Amino acid sequence: MSSIESRIAELRQQINDHNHRYYVLAAPEISDRDYDTLLNELAELEAAHPEFQSEDSPTRRVGGEALSEFTTVAHAVPMISLANSYDLQDIRDFDQRLQKLLAGKPYSYVVEPKVDGVAVSLRYENGKLVQALTRGDGRQGDDITENIRTIASVPLNLRGQVPEVLEVRGEAYMNRKGFLKLNREREEAGLAPFANPRNSAAGSLKLLDSREVAKRPLDAVWYGVGELKGIRFETHRGLLEALKEFGLRTPPLTRDCDDIEKVIQALDENLNARHEYAFEMDGAVVKVNQRALYDELGSTAKSPRWAMAYKYEPEQVETQLLSITVQVGRTGVLTPVAELEPVSVSGTTVSRATLHNWDEIQRKDVREGDTVIIEKAGEIIPAVVKVLTEKRPADARVFPEPHACPVCSQPVSKREEEVAWRCENPTCPAKSLSWTKHFVSRKAMNIDHLGEELIKVLLDAELISDPSDLYQLHQKRDTFLALDRMAEKSVQNVLDALEDSKDNDLWRLIHGLGIPQVGERTAQTLEEHFETLDELASATPENLEEIPDIGPIVAKSIISYFGNPIHQAFIERLREAGLRFTRKQAALQTAESPLTDKTVVLTGTLTQLTRDEAKELLRRLGAKVTGSVSKKTDILIAGEAAGSKLRKAQDLGIEIWSEQDLVNCIPTDPELPEGQLDLFDL
């Protein structure tokens, strides 16, 4: 095996191990950035050596070519659904039936949370993922293998001693935080939001372009099996433990119960824990633990006799819709919001609920003054689910479609492909506030001392109208200082932070521009492929879609943004203000250093630099920073309390540096006081 092929195999194993620790064991060993470094190294090696590419490489999770349609495939073992009930007496009756059928044979139960997701079956042959199917009609389903491959927690290869064939059944779902973020992005883009996480997961898995699926925050848990060859499970508990050992995520907080009374108690505990789960949970599943009894118990025409689902009623409450207001987002999208008589729903007090858009208002015939039913959609978003028209007062008011922005009073429009109304006024104060908050935020330009209240003050005083005006505040220092509660030091802190931000990484500027569909990670990806903002601005759709994670929707959004004369003028104002428009590393890696082209690993606690400062410094000195020690590592920089990485580096004979050795590589500026280091303005 060549050294390159060996390194590729090593990287794949490391990444798979880190995936297992993160998704199954919930005990990650490295940071997200270190993980990305490993993944990027693997992607570069595979691109340079296509002869070593593999279908089960972790890099394949970004998705491949779009399909024209899904293929329908028969299940080796049918996927039958469970009987379910909302009545606890039905669960007791279920136990009574088991006692009669088993005639005194001992049995126990396992109770697990019921994920409200999309039923999926995975087929592994000799440990390798070869197929993923939807439930379909239970006898056959759609082949969604390429889409399932994009889910990071799904192992492409099983761990340990693997059977000849293992089919696992479970649920794909969208986690709560990801669902909220996805809906915010859709609303900002003028698209209709998803109703709940289950719908969004189902819609994601049926996308024909797996590159788009890869951008969705999907996950999965596995709790059952179909066809098996070379393995058997005596108990359901044993099955769950074995799936974990294979590297498959199983449902959390499963409970072993000796009898039906303990099952009832477990159902209650599961209900109380429903808000602790990362996924939407709509009930619990009660299963006989002894799998040897499954054949004896058999199935009805629709469902097995050895398991039953108990479903929880969604909590709904009645309240009055006092009025409808309109929010204006940073992209100008108008979102109607129901202002409610405060009411408790799912453990929290709700006084506002989204109405999404005017199509939704018309479909539900929502009027100001109505009595409405509220629930948390997917246990997350307060939503109006129903209007009690029989309680409608005579003076209930229809809320019309907007003709003007509620903030700036300028005309609004609805684009052909969108459901949202949008304020197109670039100087709208509402857009300016949201945009400026985004621009200065920690994940964008990371400008200290500029909170929302100060931004509002600056906008109200007409010192700024958009983020580019922030860089002119030094020219209005006296006016700035005259504002309420502004002191000399606080003004200087803001001006210094703005000056420092001019030299930010390019990806921060790209993210700060507020391009719809372009978040922090996408901005970093774009920086890797374009050395300057001007190169990105002149990119073609074809250029953009060649980049992993950039599909046609994101590409269209980028092209549209840079083609807008208003945005072009904004960017020119930033250029005139002196902001860096080039990739920082490319601009600074000009001089040779002892670390040029070296692969470096950091470990232990640093005392003179933060970990981020050290990584940035290493990159600027020409080094490649990775997260784990291997034969390819040139230097290990060991801080205090260094552990296993230091021992491994010593075993491999790798050069060991102290933090001071790294600091000694930092150039000093002769104009600085003696002993003061120039950390490249880190």
The catalytic residues are 114
Pairwise CA distance, residues 254 & 242, whole Å:
14
Pairwise CA distance, residues 248 & 243, whole Å:
5
Pairwise CA distance, residues 333 & 327, whole Å:
8
303's tokens: 């469902």
- 481-485: long-range contacts at Cβ-Cβ below 8 A with a sequence spacing of 24 or more? 483/457, 483/458, 484/457
| Contacts (Cβ under 8 Å, ≥6 apart) of 100 | none
Residue with tokens 């995936």: 19
Label residues 506-543 b or e (16+ Cβ within 10 Å = b): bbbbbbbbbbbbbbeebbbbbbebbbbbeebbebeeeb
SS3 of residue 129 by DSSP: strand
Question: Which phi and psi (to 5°) does residue 143 adopt?
Answer: -80, 110
Pairwise CA distance, residues 232 & 230, whole Å:
7
Pairwise CA distance, residues 401 & 392, whole Å:
21
Nearest to 439 by CA among 390, 392, 509: 509
232's tokens: 């058997």
Pairwise CA distance, residues 330 & 423, whole Å:
10
Residue with tokens 């492409």: 156
Task: Using DSSP bridges, classify how beta strands 599-603 and 624-626 pair: parallel, antiparallel or unpaired.
Answer: parallel
> Residue 275 gets which letter from DSSP?
G
SS3 of residue 377 by DSSP: strand
Query: What HEC string does 17-76 produce?
Result: HHHHHHHHCCCCCCCHHHHHHHHHHHHHHHHHCHHHCCCCCHHHHHCCCCCCCCCEEECC
SS3 of residue 677 by DSSP: coil
Pairwise CA distance, residues 121 & 131, whole Å:
8
- 436-442: long-range contacts at Cβ-Cβ below 8 A with a sequence spacing of 24 or more? 436/464, 436/466, 436/467, 436/470, 437/330, 438/330, 438/512, 438/514, 439/467, 439/470, 439/512, 439/513, 439/514, 440/467, 440/470, 440/512
Pairwise CA distance, residues 319 & 49, whole Å:
63
Pairwise CA distance, residues 614 & 623, whole Å:
11
Q: Read off the amino acid at residue 566.
A: I
Pairwise CA distance, residues 428 & 369, whole Å:
30
| DSSP string of 207-267, one letter each residue | -S-HHHHTTS-EEEEEEEEEEEES---SBHHHHHHHHHHTT----SS-EEESSHHHHHHHH
Pairwise CA distance, residues 566 & 482, whole Å:
31
Q: Read off the amino acid at residue 515.
A: I
